[in-house]
Chain A
């Protein structure tokens, strides 16, 4: 048993205990509510949320780092949703992750991704040339798909109404998704574009808690978008991207951006409400469960648009139990999905989600985040749930009625 020495002047304690109401973790009541709510439930290993808060509050930085809890935490905030003092776990954990002493715990893949992003603009290392080549090629396919020679996937077109910010996977292993999104933009009849200078909705600086990196990455999106003079930045389906670029952007970059931000499901719902976009739900003649990505739902309040869109595209949306504010993380949050060595751990963190999915008795589930999408897919296979996993926007695209 180690003897710990309290140090309320530690780097972490100084930062966290100084924040205003809500993030001031010195205010922790030690009520224990958070302990009962961790996404790990009774799974082996994983964080004890109250211990993390207390270690941070008491200045036990080293102990907290040593505990190994920091990178087991999915920063899903499921625990502190119920905190009577409004303490937010993701702030505590990310700040602790950012301590120099914790650097060697950053998963190798995340480190690499951050380097790629900062150097090349894309976590997967996609260069500008690669981008142009890929987009032009996908654009040709797209013309065939919509049978309209005037159709295209534009990039770097200044003055467009929308700027679409894809997930890196849409320019890598999941090109079909990009086509599907293009179809939705096309159907709105509005001007839209992509940008060759940024390909990436992700912000792994957020995962490592380093504010300077998160800011640089966000500015890599914001500045070119402002240069293109677009009206609205449209985010691909990405949980933490949504949280960073929509919910806390002014905090991250220290100012308001000169455009509005929405996610692709939000955009599509808006145009569906206007009657511009129409869907044929008989394409998906089944009930579908919806998984709330923590970063979009609990952490940013984005509960409704994905559900509304799904209800237009399927035979009805079924809630997981619990969902919304109390929703269970897919088990891949906080950067662990991005760590290629995490599979075993993710099947522990994913078990509660698997139980929820199974309890629906359904064969389909959708979500609004490509990371969740991947994790849910792996869960479905691992736990033999036989559930097909889709993203909300791709389902919408698949049943879009195009007026020719």
Chain B
């Protein structure tokens, strides 16, 4: 095909496909997005918002927003209700005939055909068709979206979640962990407790996959709120007369079986390749692995095809979005369309991860600067380990890092920054003398490992993916070399496509696994002959089990390092709830930040293993290649009006305003997210945008009517999908962000005669600009508390893009 206008075929209009399409559109590449259903968004589009008082970072709402953006993007042609009829591949490209008859010539294809939820009917013992109260996670989403739960269940239902339905099952040929269902169920449990505070919830799990910052905080919040029970019942009996759902479980208290009755059982179904995907792959001449995915060496997509998202392997929404972007960058690279103006990248942080990141970006042709200590630095990396950073200014493409080196102050200019400091390693194990670090154990030749070793996981600190994998790999190798190895754990994290197989193989090889419920159930004593670990084993209630060990192997526990807060201060970017870098905001996860061009990678911001880190670096480079996830806007400062008060400079949540050489504030459009916080805050009304000015917004109010100011990436999108439309007396005005709101504006709207003013935007924690919900809530509260203000006349009501039913209720409830 012609080099000048390559066209890309994307199969699948779910999160990964949309993300790839949008990323390519930033570079004006023509995209054909082929989707077999009648709407974009994939599975995520039918999921409910999980927000409680705060966003739970599931990412489902993003799918609505992406679908909306695609509709507005001219370079993307969407083919709904369409499949590929035939496809011919040649060196010049591919010719695809669509089911509608149209022929497309494409240079490359991205396969993002996604997944299907496992069909629970395939496990007959659940009797999922015997009662409408046995639902899958997908069906629960519908019940939540449609606000039908309390009608169905009353105020204080007993609800059970059953994990691993259709996953981690070797007999069924699905010996993989679907990776997301534990997280999904934890979120669901929180959401249900939010909707029905008296709900009594039990979550039955095999190994709770508490991976990543979102899951960690969910697990923490749930402790004490719901019952977390190890061991998953495999049979449900629906009682004809009472409608109750009965399951038998082991009762550790009485050491016997007991039956438990529930009002709702949620089957946490895993991910399987979509129906008919085999046929699709045949048409495309691609061969997936026996599971139907493209995540192992046995799968072969072919050279002109990139696979992304859940078609590759089960993953969450944010992971799928990230892979879509990476796929787009991969395609650009294959077509030699990469941007050659490789900007310098500064990597901040000590430790092996930062050094590895610097090495990778340098190998990709980016000048790379390492502010941190690393061993054996690859050539081409500028070693700035001796530098002390003093300040970081500028915006994407043009950062300046002011630093002191050997007593000399100087500035480094670079285009992008990757923050990757190493976490602290905790010496918790002090309390027990003579332990071996897991990292060292894993480095020993298996034959030289101690004869009778116990690897203790999750005890001195939370288990990480990397430690779990290291433990499994090393234990199996030692076992294969004839050693006795026991892994004592609370749960086994089976991360990644082959995590479950690795765990299965280790057990088959004879590595012994013991499970404890709570660290308090484990006692360690050491003597001259080694250690004795005495424990209450979860599967053997009522007994104490003693295990002797010559060596006790323990992974290093990690904790937030002071460097995190230091960098957070320098970069003007917040920390998460555990003091690690990067708040869990889905708008910027996985690797981006509220500031364009500043990224996070490695364990400073998440539970990251080597595979993840590799993806993170690819994602960062992809973001630099294809531009930011979201588009900047048309906001500028009218110098004539500007009073140089620098309010805008201070309030800009994205660090997009710099002081230019005349010491005037100036908006750098590449870094601007067009949130218009500056517009609403500028006391001189000097900041102009293509949108409405403050007064104009207030003027949208009309006498006797309700004015709804709705954030364009949440509430306004929800408004667009309200099924029977909004009440007649509503004026809906789309605003760029809840932070666009000011007390002033609300008052003006009231003066203009609005009967009610509703501000609706993202849930707290979901705002792309961070503080929008807080700003809106505060502005509303100030007005609402004015003397004489009737209750309910002004209100702040968050609603996500996927909450049309909620939004409709907000505007219709007087």
Contact = CB atoms under 8 A, between A and B. Distances in A.
Main secondary structure of the interface of A (DSSP, over half): loop
Interface stretch (A43-51, A142-150, A311-319): A43-51
Contacts of B515: 30
A81 B486 CA distance: 28
Nearest to B534: A3
Interface string A1-16: 1111110100000000
Contact of B235 (A36, A44, A51): A36
Nearest to B545: A4
Given A38-B257, A45-B256, A5 B510 contact: no
A28 B256 contact: no
Interface string B156-180: 0000000010001111100000000
Given A41-B259, A42-B258, A84-B170, A26 B507 contact: yes
Contact of A83 (B171, B257, B508, B548): B171
Interface string A63-105: 1000000000000000001111110000000000000000000
A48 B538 contact: no
A84 B165 CA distance: 11
A81 B124 CA distance: 11
Contacts of B513: 30
Interface string A48-67: 10110011011010010000
B250 A8 contact: no
Nearest to A83: B171
Given A4-B545, A26-B508, A33 B234 contact: yes
A4 B504 CA distance: 25
Interface stretch (B225-233, B470-478, B560-568): B225-233
Contacts of A156: none
A118 to B, nearest CB: 37
Contacts of B140: none
A107 B538 CA distance: 32
A367 interface: no
Contacts of A33: 232-234
A4 to B, nearest CB: 5
A374 to B, nearest CB: 26
B744 to A, nearest CB: 59
A32 B232 contact: yes
B546 A35 contact: no
B168 A29 contact: yes
A318 to B, nearest CB: 15
B430 interface: no
Contact of A322 (B125, B231, B546): B125
B459 interface: no
A26 B510 contact: yes
B453 to A, nearest CB: 14
A36 B169 contact: no
Which of B123, B234, B248, B249 lies at the interface centre, i.e. has the most chain A CB atoms within 10 A of its CB? B234
Contacts of B512: 6, 8, 26, 57-58
B255 interface: yes
Contact of B248 (A1, A4, A37, A60): A37
A10 to B, nearest CB: 13
Contact of B539 (A3, A38, A51, A326): A51
A24 interface: yes
A4 B540 contact: yes
Interface in B569-598: none
B546 A48 contact: no
Interface in B313-353: none
A31 interface: yes
A50 B259 contact: no
B206 interface: yes
B542 interface: yes
Contacts of B171: 83-86
A60 B486 CA distance: 15
Contacts of B125: 37, 81-82, 322, 326
A40 interface: yes
B231 to A, nearest CB: 2
B442 interface: no
A84 B168 contact: yes
A27 B204 CA distance: 20
Interface residues of A, number: 49
Nearest to A59: B512
Contact of A48 (B240, B256, B486, B504): B256
B783 interface: no
A50 B164 CA distance: 17
Interface string B205-248: 01000000000000000000000001111110000100000011
A46 B256 CA distance: 8
A30 B229 CA distance: 12
A325 B540 CA distance: 28
B547 interface: yes
Nearest to B508: A27
Contacts of A41: 248, 257, 259
Contact of B206 (A24, A32, A37, A359): A32
Contacts of B127: 322
Contact of A4 (B206, B247, B544): B544
Nearest to B513: A30
A177 B249 CA distance: 42
B233 A55 contact: no
A382 interface: no
Nearest to A36: B233
B543 interface: yes
A195 interface: no
Interface string A127-143: 00000000000000000
Contacts of B419: none
Given A26-B512, A27-B504, A32-B250, A37 B164 contact: no
Contact of A37 (B235, B486, B514): B235
Contact of B259 (A42, A51, A82): A42
Contacts of B137: none
Contacts of B250: 32, 35, 48, 50-51
A289 B478 CA distance: 55
Contact of A30 (B231, B240, B249, B534): B231
B248 A17 contact: no
B590 to A, nearest CB: 30
A21 interface: yes
Which of A21, A40, A44, A322 lies at the interface centre, i.e. has the most chain B CB atoms within 10 A of its CB? A322
Interface string B71-106: 000000000000000000000000000000000000
A6 B259 CA distance: 31
A286 B730 CA distance: 67
B395 interface: no
Contacts of A34: 234
A72 B127 CA distance: 27
A32 B249 CA distance: 8
A2 B258 CA distance: 23
Contacts of B168: 29, 31, 84
B172 A84 contact: yes
B792 to A, nearest CB: 49
A362 to B, nearest CB: 16
Contact of A8 (B172, B231, B484, B504): B484
A326 B124 contact: yes
Contact of A31 (B164, B256, B486): B164
Interface string A337-352: 0000000000000000
Contacts of B546: 3-6
A373 B544 CA distance: 43
A30 B543 CA distance: 16
17 contacts: A1-B542, A3-B544, A4-B544, A26-B508, A26-B512, A27-B504, A29-B168, A32-B539, A35-B233, A36-B235, A37-B235, A42-B248, A43-B257, A60-B540, A82-B125, A82-B235, A86-B170
Given A33-B232, A35-B231, A84-B168, 7 more contacts: A2-B544, A27-B508, A35-B233, A35-B257, A38-B248, A41-B257, A50-B231
* Top-9 shortest CB links A-B: A32-B231, A36-B233, A33-B234, A84-B169, A42-B259, A82-B234, A54-B539, A35-B250, A3-B544
